[in-house]
Structure 1
Amino acid sequence: MQLEGKTAIVTGASSGIGKAIAEKLASEGVQVVLAARRLESLQELENTINQQSNGKALAVKTDIGKQADVDNLIKRTNEAFGETDVLVNCAGQMLAGAVRSGEVKQWEQMIDVNIKGVLYGVHAVLPAMLEKSAGHIINIASVSGFEVTKTSTVYSATKFAVRAISAGLEKELAKTGVRMTNISPGMVDTRLSGSSSWGNGRKKLEAEDIANAVVYALTQPDYVNVNEITVRPQ
């Protein structure tokens, strides 16, 4: 009941970890705004939540690599549910990450979504959160933000950046009432990891495991700020 009636934006909500987080939050009575590029998948989830869950859902087609799209997402959220209580930056791109590959367009996609998308989201919700001295930002990073392989150089760089942004925000937001949590999952069984060559043959977590970590961070007492969670398969 701690989360009932709150409003959360979840990016990357059309599948995988983002979808699991949105479903879990809705089951807790949260009004969830679903953001991703694949509108049809979002609308299916929106209908399921509105028909079967304790919470409500609104689907908003969003390319988080574009600031105008993110600004529109916040506008639609405010119109439907009022101010945002929780932002979950979950959208991500896991593409060819070796520098030797020369895949410049793929590097740019990862930078736009994994780094710029996080910053655009934070920039859009933070003023209202600071004004009311309440709110929670959750960034979904990766254990690749701790470790680099020969095929993950650029992807790991973007996730190192997410962790750096989170660490900086912890300090910037200290004693403001706005909480900051960075969650770094190991390999998770999703469409994203399934399309990645370095995930083959490795034991994987379930998306629900990360959703549970999100709820854990959100349901701590107001004076507790869970800054960093790392979730790996056993």
Structure 2
Amino acid sequence: MAPIDTDSAAGLEDVVFDFVVVGGTSGLVVANRITGDPHIQVLVLEAGTNRLNDPRVMVPGLGIASYKDPDFDWNFRSSPQEQLNGRQLLASQGRTLGGSSAINLGMVIYPSKVGMDAWEKLGNPGWGWDGVSPYIRKFHKAAAPSNEVRQFFQGMKYDLLDQGSDGPVQVSFGDQYMPYHGAWLGTFKALGYSQVEDPIKGAGTGPFVSPGAVDPTTHTRSHAGAAYFGDSVQARPNLRVVTGALV
């Protein structure tokens, strides 16, 4: 990805923006979608930094190296926990383009139908499973697990036809797993909890094998920053992104 200067706020006073979007994981998603209409001017204000080309973001396994670093992490802490002898627990949240999707462990875990429908019943119209599930497929493009991975995870439920096929976030499975990974589904089955179906179909309350937000071609992290703010989007004249802008 070509470098882009997002640190400068020069010229903002010369543009009338139709929407001002706060950054984070969803900020660039929203801005990307809105600026698909070339007649709408959008400004994204991101409190964090532009680390799109930093190896701690690009290399999936290096994500934890960014924790506690203010260039990547809000470094939130819990209140002192009485049951933990007063310890404060770290609650890392992404403070960079792409938000937490740029520094988390990168696992793609879909919500359950039961959970989403309960959310809607609490007073959130449109946020039930039927309303949200199309967007679960829209955001990503899936690469099917290899035959070796399928054999390793005996009983794995996965059908490529159920997955996203043309979204910007790349979702794939690894090619190396440890023995304890292989015991995952079998252990739950022995306890009476078999995997019923692929979690992308709403069965996210039992054992399942999670893919990762990793580009299977480049083996780099696929996150909101890289996926929704690529070269073609950066070139849109109706989109401006400014980092280091605390709202």
Structure possessing the higher radius of gyration over alpha carbons: 2
Query: One fold, TM greater than 0.5?
Result: no
> TM-score w.r.t. structure 1 length?
0.24
> TM-score w.r.t. structure 2 length?
0.23
Q: Which has the higher contact order (CA 8 A, sep 6+)?
A: 2
